[in-house]
Amino acid sequence: MPEYRAPIRDIDFVLKELLNSEEHFASLEGAGDMNVELMDAILDSGAKFAEQVVAPLNQIGDEVGCHFEDGNVTTPPGYKEAFQQYVANGWQGLSVPESDGGLGLPGSVGLTLTEMVGSASWAWSMYSGLAGAPIACLVNGGSEAQKQRFLPKLLTGEWAGAMCLTEAHCGSDVGMLRTKAIKNDDDSYTLTGTKIFISGGEQDITDNIIHAILARVEGAPEGNKGISLFIAPKYLVNDDGSLGEHNNITAGNIEKKMGLKGNATCVMNYDGAKAYLLGEENRGLDIMFKLMNTARIGTAVQGLAGAQSAFQGALSYANERLQMRSLTGTKNPDGPADPIIVHPDVRRMLMTQKAFTEGSRALCYWLAQLVDQTKFGKDEGRVKEAEDLLGLLTPVAKAFCTETGVEVTNLGMQVFGGHGYIHEHGMEQIVRDTRISTVYEGTTGIQALDLIGRKVMGSGGELLRVFTKKIHKYCASHVDTENMVEFTESLASLNKQWGEITMDVGGKAMENADEVGSASVDYAMFSGYVTFAYLWAQMAEVAQQKITEGSDDAFYKAKLATARFYFKRILPRAQVHAVGAGAGADTVMELAADEFAF
């Protein structure tokens, strides 16, 4: 089992040197008393908590898993106690407005916790993470009375929550949902239906569970236009805040899954449950959309978190495992063989892991700052730019950080050889736990359609131009910086190509709507490689500056070498996706459904 060590040095680099948190915090207003010292303190205590409290629960959570009996779920040993410690730190309300009882800090700070605690154990972290869902629904759509009834105990962690969207017959196509709401005489509704894949829908960690549920009010229009958002507690809440009777919300079963076994994935039955409407009838998706960027960035972080764990494990093993001699001469003469990190192909795998992990961190943390801007930004232009960039880059981050995260976790196993396949070493668990990240919260295919269809084509290319202009400006501003040309030349060329591919697909899509879908995932992956290139160029720039200033900190040397590795050995993949995006829908649409196999 790899021992988790929070990558504080790299997180620090991204937050302070790449993204200049100090200036960022100064550009916000109403975001509590946020400053770099406070950020450091949260980072420090978060790292300790992740390393010492959460990480030890990861393997046992996978081995023991969750158990279901008579509607009750038993979570793995230690999960409840760790949850209580987590919420006692006040972290559940870190990014909740002060007016709603939270600390009101910018979400970019909370994201460091998401990464560290998630690397330590994603399955565990989902219990607190999912409690954030009804909190966000209430903050964004709840009445004052609803907030007062539910928020305080969600914020103290006495209660947790669950997000209830999927039904057996509808996942991506949420418009098909059937869960029914009937208005009562008072302000409540009666809910009937069955939801599946409800993470933490039932558990033994908190006294109550607050469900945020998408349902259709009787008589509402079909499809997306008839979906409302409700909140319903497992136990009804009396006016004095005490718990009342059980609310006909019961778990029918829990799923046996590939991974994340410590987190209970429930089938939830609502058999006439009392529920409260958030916002207006039929406008449930409006509230959901407000949460979507944050939820998707949070899932992108799962790719990062798994990648970080897998990289740490593989690196440590590569330094310990002795096997064969270096082809350039013995490196470990006192041992029976050299550590496998001497072998170039092992290094290729480690460098790939490092490039994707650190690139993901840069992207996720940047996007979190953009979310901060949309909420607290003082400068209107900057807020507008943040909104545009977020619209474009959120699906890119979700798709790309999870797809590459899955690759990195598989490389981690591969470095371990046969031992990677054995449970006790922990590497195969990371693969299994991370694998779902390309699926839930919108599959890679759904992200790709959101990107190319809704965001790029839907804005007439405007959202893309906001970013490509930014990249263009960046490259142009470094045209005379000799040590940056190795990065900015290909970045500028890819940036131009991004626009050309968009025009090409857009043109073809006027004739045939299937062109968009045929190009979508390749387009999203191309976008991801270019976005990472932009971030790696900036990271190289910071490193070059430090080295030029005389720093002999090997951290900067490594950063620069990784940027070069990314540009020379990873970024060429963008061309494959350019070809794929331009290949045309005929390549996939030619066969009838019954002609794929015989």
Q: Which residues are catalytic?
A: 441
Burial of 368 (0-12, 13-18, 19+ CB in 10 A): buried
Strands 208-217 and 159-164: parallel
Determine the 3-state secondary structure of 255 from DSSP.
coil
Q: What is each CA distance from 559 to 312, 364, 556, 564, in whole angstroms? A: 16, 18, 5, 9
Q: Which residues of 539-570 are buried (b: 16+ CB within 10 A; e: fewer)?
A: bbbbbbebbeeeeeeeebeebbbbbbbbbeeb
Residue 16 vs 384, nearer CB to its own copies: 16
Q: Which of 406, 505, 540, 563 binds its own copies (CB under 8 A)?
A: 406
Where in 212-251 is the site for its own copies (CB under 8 A)?
none
List residues bridging with 73 in a β-sheet. Answer: 68
Where in 180-209 is the site for its own copies (CB under 8 A)?
197
Q: 568-587 mask for its own copies (x: CB under 8 A)? A: xx--xx-xx--xx--x-x-x
Residue 79 vs 197, nearer CB to its own copies: 197
Residue 208 vs 502, nearer CB to its own copies: 502
- From first CA to last CA, the distance across the chain in angstroms is 45
Q: Which of 80, 290, 382, 432 binds its own copies (CB under 8 A)?
A: 432
Q: Which of 423, 454, 469, 473 binds its own copies (CB under 8 A)?
A: 423
Does 16 sit near its own copies (CB under 8 A)? no
CA neighbor of 303 nearest in space, from 424, 414, 478, 439: 439
CB of 317 to its own copies, least distance (A): 12
Q: Which of the stretches 203-211, 270-278, 289-297, 415-423 binds its own copies when contact is defined by CB under 8 A? A: 415-423
Residue 102 vs 259, nearer CB to its own copies: 259
In whole angstroms, give the CA distance from residue 470 to residue 498.
13
Residue 183 vs 343, nearer CB to its own copies: 343
Yes or no: say if 377 and 389 are a contact pair by the CB < 8 Å rule.
Answer: no
CB of 574 to its own copies, least distance (A): 9
Determine the 3-state secondary structure of 559 from DSSP.
helix
The 8-class DSSP code of residue 591 comes to S
Q: What is the number of other CB atoms lying within 10 angstroms of the CB of residue 460? A: 10
CB of 413 to its own copies, least distance (A): 7
Where in 376-395 is the site for its own copies (CB under 8 A)?
none
Does 210 sit near its own copies (CB under 8 A)? no
Does 322 sit near its own copies (CB under 8 A)? yes
Yes or no: say if 396 and 451 are a contact pair by the CB < 8 Å rule.
Answer: yes
- Phi-psi category of residue 67: left, alpha or beta, with phi > 0 → left and psi -120 to 50 → alpha: beta
Q: Which of 240, 242, 334, 596 binds its own copies (CB under 8 A)?
A: 596
Where in 343-362 is the site for its own copies (CB under 8 A)?
343-348, 350-351, 354
Does 319 sit near its own copies (CB under 8 A)? yes
Where in 549-568 is the site for its own copies (CB under 8 A)?
554-555, 557-558, 561, 564-565, 568
Q: What is each CA distance from 173 to 224, 392, 443, 449, in whole angstroms? A: 9, 22, 12, 13
CB of 54 to its own copies, least distance (A): 20
Q: Which of 172, 184, 477, 493 binds its own copies (CB under 8 A)?
A: 172
Does 38 sit near its own copies (CB under 8 A)? no
Residue 72 vs 319, nearer CB to its own copies: 319
Q: 437-476 mask for its own copies (x: CB under 8 A)? A: -xxx--xxx--xx---------------------------
Q: Which of 323, 374, 459, 497 binds its own copies (CB under 8 A)?
A: 323
Q: What is each CA distance from 222 to 195, 227, 318, in whole angstroms? A: 18, 8, 56
Q: Which of 336, 381, 549, 552 binds its own copies (CB under 8 A)?
A: 336
Q: 252-281 mask for its own copies (x: CB under 8 A)? A: ---xxxxx----------------------
Where in 495-524 is the site for its own copies (CB under 8 A)?
512-518, 520-521
CB of 513 to its own copies, least distance (A): 4
CB of 563 to its own copies, least distance (A): 11
Where in 84-143 is the site for its own copies (CB under 8 A)?
none
* Inter-residue long-range contacts of 552-556, CB under 8 Å, 24+ positions, other chains counted: 555/9, 555/13
Yes or no: say if 232 and 277 are a contact pair by the CB < 8 Å rule.
Answer: no
The 8-class DSSP code of residue 35 comes to -
Q: Which of 108, 312, 373, 468 binds its own copies (CB under 8 A)?
A: 312
Burial of 334 (0-12, 13-18, 19+ CB in 10 A): exposed
CA neighbor of 411 nearest in space, from 319, 327, 312, 320: 312
Q: Which of 417, 454, 460, 473 binds its own copies (CB under 8 A)?
A: 417
In whole angstroms, give the CA distance from residue 2 to residue 121.
12
Residue 476 vs 588, nearer CB to its own copies: 588
Total residues binding its own copies (CB under 8 A)? 104
CB of 386 to its own copies, least distance (A): 29
In whole angstroms, give the CA distance from residue 278 to residue 228.
8
Q: Which of 422, 476, 479, 503 binds its own copies (CB under 8 A)?
A: 422
CB of 152 to its own copies, least distance (A): 33
CB of 340 to its own copies, least distance (A): 9
Length of the chain counted residue by residue = 598
In whole angstroms, give the CA distance from residue 125 to residue 49.
12
CB of 356 to its own copies, least distance (A): 14
